[in-house]
Structure 1
Amino acid sequence: MHTPDDPHLYEEVLVSPMYLAGSNGIGDAGFAPVAHWPHHYLDDGPCQLLVTSPDQRIRVGWFGDDFELWRISAATEAASATRWTATFNHVTPAEIVAGLTTALAHDYAEADAYDSNGRFLANPSIYWADAVRPLTDAGWKRGVPTTPGTVEIVAPDGQAGAVIDRRSYGPDDETVTLWAGPPGWGTRAEAVFTARAPSHLIAATADAMADSAPVIRERHQIHREMEHLVTLTPVGSASPQTSRAPTPLDVRRTAVTQAVHRAARAPRTAAELRVMAARSRTATSTRTGSPNLPHATMARTRLSPSAPRRSR
């Protein structure tokens, strides 16, 4: 546990497993795959940043002051009713969100070239296992469900899992939940998908969640109740060649690189889009000294009451 005067409070560390790293208070990694899409800044509303596909059928919303920090949805037309929605709470690492936004960027690029409807509007598989296959392929096992009519998949460490609700629900009801961390406002990460969410998009999110690569956080961003569940490695000691502590720009670049590398298995067209987006963001950051996302707005994200704030 860290005290406010701890000299290591803002030390940057590699956190593993990634799904227990929590949010770093900004959404750069989650927005990186769609950085080339139109941005709409809505500082006066609950949704502070809305990134949409060029035809506005896909929407990625950042709700900086809400418990549900991210709200991502798709519709058949820009003005039509939402077909499916995915929400990510304020504890969920943005690197997990990037699993979904990477898949959406790929689907949209493919639809633009070959299919006006788009795979991001596909019906979900009739087999529940398809949505969580990356987890079972990574060695996650079926657990004992706490609610009749549900299926649970649990990570080997018991600190993350998926719940699939197989009961009959309406199209807008929540049926798949990916979770990580012990129950609690500041400790439990949750990603929730409604019934018509395509299975391959849920699987892409689950694949990011199961990624074994660590992520960068400052020590104070790790909730005190999570410290005994994660492995922390100071960034400066991670490589013998490291001669300086990484700057905030280095951290942002690392987050973007991780998001791009995680999607390397995608078809070439999607990979090219993500690399283009990453290069665009890096170039902008280099010129301006800040990312092309609303850092000041994102800084208002509610954190755990125990999380200290840097004095200015």
Structure 2
Amino acid sequence: MYLAGSNGTGDIGFAPVAHWPHHYLDDGPCQLLVTSPDQRIRIGWFGDDFELWKITAAQEAVAPPRWTATFNHVSPPELVAALTTVLAQDYATSDPYENGRFLANPSVYWSDAVQPLLDAGWQLKRTYGFIDITAPDGLAGVEIDTHREGPGEGPGSQFITLWAGPRGWGTRTEAVFTYRTPSHLIAATAAAMTKSAPVVRERHMIHREMEHLVTLTPFVPLAAPRTSRSPTPLDVRRTAVTEAVRRAARAPRTAADLRVMAAQSRTTTPAQKRSAVLPPTAAAQTPVASSPRRPGR
């Protein structure tokens, strides 16, 4: 899934917070802003920027962000949905007058934020000031900056970066979390990277340099069920006529009818006689035999 790339829309990422207020800002770089009812959580969609998603949480609506998470334009929206799902749950269970879990201090143990990856067998490598965790296929990983110990949220204060795909503008997924992001939110996003369930993409959404790295399975949608319609006046008339003809064909013959048929049999040709005896529906269905063509002289 982490190599699937973006599907070009934010529907999946916004689905968990679809009931929150939506603000359409077509004139600015942020085209859609979805906020919690008290506006402490903000989820921005920047449709034309490299950083496609920007998610922040603050102690008050007008306070500076306590933490920030960004997803670039290649990031699968399923990763964003993993984060927004937990955010919606945290907000629903929070006290409006107290800090909810979405504002909790991160764990003092960096491993709590990436434990799902370690449990999945991703490889750990330590270097001075950094920790790298890499997927078994080498095509995804996590970079943790252990140098940063202060609470700053200014430029350059990134702490954990989830990545996937080869380096390149159209191939590398990057999700960056700043230092004070609660550990359980990062862990929820990291857990989504271990999922092997297929996701739906159109062929043109897969970068040509990624086609040999993913498994593409054609998907044929099921046919839509037929919907019943009310009969039209013409349908009703046709049904009535058909039933009347059937009843007439099955009706018993009276003595007068038999006398008329006997008189007709004395005055009609054999071909007409056969046609008169047949019910109307059968006569209409009897094919007319073509006369054999005489050989030319």
Flag whether TM exceeds 0.5 (same fold).
Answer: yes
Contact 2:45 2:54 in 1 (8 A): yes
1:44–1:154 Cα change, 3 Å: same
CA distance in 2, matches of 1:55, 1:200: 22
The answer to whether the 8 Å contact 1:46/1:65 transfers is yes
Structure 1 alignment gaps of length 5 or more: 1-17, 237-241, 246-312
Report the equivalent of 1:225: 209
Distance (whole Å) between structure 2 residues aligned to residue 207 and residue 201 of structure 1: 10
CA-to-aligned-CA distance 1:138-172 (integer Å, 9 cap, x gap):
12121365xx3100111111100111100035421
Say if 2:172 is the partner of 1:188.
yes
Report how far residue 212 of structure 1 moved: 1.2
Match of 1:216 in 2: 200
SS of equivalent residue, structure 1 residue 77: coil
**Structure 1 counterpart of 2:10:** 27
The equivalent position to 2:158 in structure 1, one of 168, 174, 177, is: 174
- Take 1:223 and 1:197, find their aligned partners in 2: how far apart are those partners? 31
What is the correspondence of 1:233-272 to structure 2 with a 5 Å cutoff? 233-236=217-220, 243-244=222-223
Post-superposition shift, 1:243? 4.2
Q: Quick one: distance in 1 between partners of 2:217 and 2:122?
A: 25
Tell me the SS of whatever aligns to 2:63: coil
Q: 2:121 & 2:200 partners in 1: Cα distance?
A: 25
**DSSP 3-state at the match of 1:98:** helix
RMSD over aligned Cα atoms: 1.5
1:153 aligns with 2:136: no
* Count of matched residue pairs: 220
Partners of 2:107 and 2:182 within 8 A in 1? yes
Greater Rg, structure 1 or structure 2?
2
Give the residue type in structure 2 aligned to 1:186.
G
- Please give the alpha-carbon distance, in whole angstroms, between the structure 2 residues aligned to 1:43 and 1:243: 36
Q: Is the 8 A contact 2:14 2:84 kept in 1?
A: yes
TM-score normalized with structure 1 length? 0.68
Structure 1 residue identity aligned to 2:178: T
2:120 paired residue number: 138
How many percent identity over aligned positions?
A: 72
Q: Distance in 2 between matches of 1:168 and 1:222?
A: 36
How far 1:112 moved relative to its partner? 3.8
Does 2:30 align with 1:47?
yes
| Partner residue, 1:99 | 82
Moved over 4 A (4+): 242-245
Q: 1:165 maps to which residue? A: 145
Secondary structure, counterpart of 1:211 in structure 2: coil
2:19 is aligned, of 11, 19, 36, to: 36
Alignment of 1:119 onto 2:126: no
Distance 2:222 2:139 in 1: 35
Contact 2:148–2:159 (CA under 8 A) maintained in structure 1: no
SS class of match (1:20): coil
Partner-residue secondary structure (3-state), 1:30: helix
SS of the residue corresponding to residue 88 of structure 2 reads helix
TM-score between the two structures when normalised by the length of structure 2: 0.72
